[in-house]
Structure 1
Amino acid sequence: MANLNVQHLSDVLNSWGLWGRLAGALLIFVQTVLPFIPFVVIAGANVLIFGFWLGFLVNYAASVLGAIVFFWIARHYAKDWVETKLEKYAYLNKINDKLEHHGFLYITIGRIIPVLPSFGINLAAAVMKVSTRDFVLGTIVGKVPIILLESLIGHDLLYFHQYKGRFLVLSALFIGLILVGNVYKNKWFGSNKS
């Protein structure tokens, strides 16, 4: 079913010509803020439209740009509101101190191992003590492997018969990353509630 969604989205965007290509990039950009369509579906459609490597670059550039724009907006316009929502989690102060000194490392790892969804990382980093430099560099470095992985999965999903082995290995890797992310999410956010 998911491969039909990738194919359908690709067909629709292709039918729009240049506007469809721009829409594919815009969907990735918007998806970093509002994940209404699974990233892997949009990434797969863009890979079909642009070809694998150019599609990967479009997915990567639009995702990084979307994360940085959302971070900037949240830091400048939503910080006070979000801080009031996070006040009830006293343990976040400990995390905040770590982010202040090791923001690049935590953002990079958070991008590769999905402890939080991408938009959650953007929002949390914006209201915490992560420097803009650490956020931007961690996002640039950390998004490379995960977007490459999701672009490959989206591509191989559509061409399952041709890339069945690689698809299964990549899917297992992706599921493994999600499971590791859930372990850390439960460790950090489940047992530390005040």
Structure 2
Amino acid sequence: MAEWNVRHLSDILQSWGLLGHVAGMMLAYLQTVLPFIPFVIVAGANVLIFGLWLGFAVNYVMAVLGAVSTFLVARNYARGWVEKKLEKYAYIEKFNQKLEQNGFLYIAVSRVIPVLPSFGINLAAAVMKVRTRDFVLGTMVGKFPMIFLESLIGHDLLHFHHNKGRLFLLLLIFVVLILIGNIYKKKWFDSGNNKIS
């Protein structure tokens, strides 16, 4: 099913010519701002359109730009709305303390191991005490390996018969990162005492 989605999306974009290339870039940006399509689908479509390495570069640059712009808009224009949305999560204040002490490290690690959804990191960091510089640098460093992983997974889904061994290894790494993320989420937020309502 995922292969069909990647193939279907890439076929549509390629049929649009140059406009489709621009649309593929914008989808990578918009997916970070409004996550309505799994990123691996968008990443795979862009890899098919642009090629593996250029597709990865497009995915990476647009995802970073999307994350940073979401952070800046939320921080400067939608702080009240975001704070209201986040106030029901008891662990946020605990994460705020960690971001204030070492924002770069926690943003970078949160990008590599999915402690929180990427979109949630963008919004939460915007109303916390993390410095803009730490957010931008942490995002650039942390997103690099994850975007590369998702671009490779998208690529290998389309070439399953040639790369099935590597695809299974990549999916295993992805699952392990999710499991590690869940462990760190409990460790960082002490979820036993701070349950999400």
Return closer, same or farther for 1:8/1:90 CA change in 2, 3 Å cut-off: closer
1:116: Cα distance to partner? 1.1
1:141: Cα distance to partner? 0.6
- Which deviates more from structure 2 when the two are superposed, residues 108-117 or residues 179-188? 179-188
AA matched with 1:32: T
Describe how 1:29-178 pairs up with structure 2 within 5 A. Answer: 29-89=29-89, 91-178=91-178
CA contact (8 A) 2:13 2:21 kept: yes
Residues in 1 aligned to 2:119 and 2:165: alpha-carbon distance in whole angstroms = 31
1:178: Cα distance to partner? 1.0
1:85: Cα distance to partner? 3.9
AA matched with 1:144: F
1:97: Cα distance to partner? 1.9
Unaligned runs of at least 5 residues, structure 2: none
1:143: Cα distance to partner? 0.6
1:88: Cα distance to partner? 4.8
Residues in 1 aligned to 2:90 and 2:158: alpha-carbon distance in whole angstroms = 45
Taking only the aligned residue pairs, the percentage that are identical comes to: 67
Matched, 1:14 2:23: no
AA matched with 2:130: V
Return closer, same or farther for 1:3/1:44 CA change in 2, 3 Å cut-off: same
Deviations 1:9-67 (A, max 9, x none): 11100000111001001001010121111100110000000000000000000000000
Residues in 2 aligned to 1:32 and 1:140: alpha-carbon distance in whole angstroms = 14
- Which deviates more from structure 2 when the two are superposed, residues 34-43 or residues 77-86? 77-86
What count of residue pairs does the alignment treat as equivalent? 194
Residues in 1 aligned to 2:78 and 2:190: alpha-carbon distance in whole angstroms = 22
Unaligned runs of at least 5 residues, structure 1: none
Matched, 1:193 2:191: no
Report runs of 4+ in structure 1 exceeding 4 Å deviation. Answer: 88-91
Residues in 2 aligned to 1:136 and 1:27: alpha-carbon distance in whole angstroms = 20
Residues in 2 aligned to 1:165 and 1:26: alpha-carbon distance in whole angstroms = 31
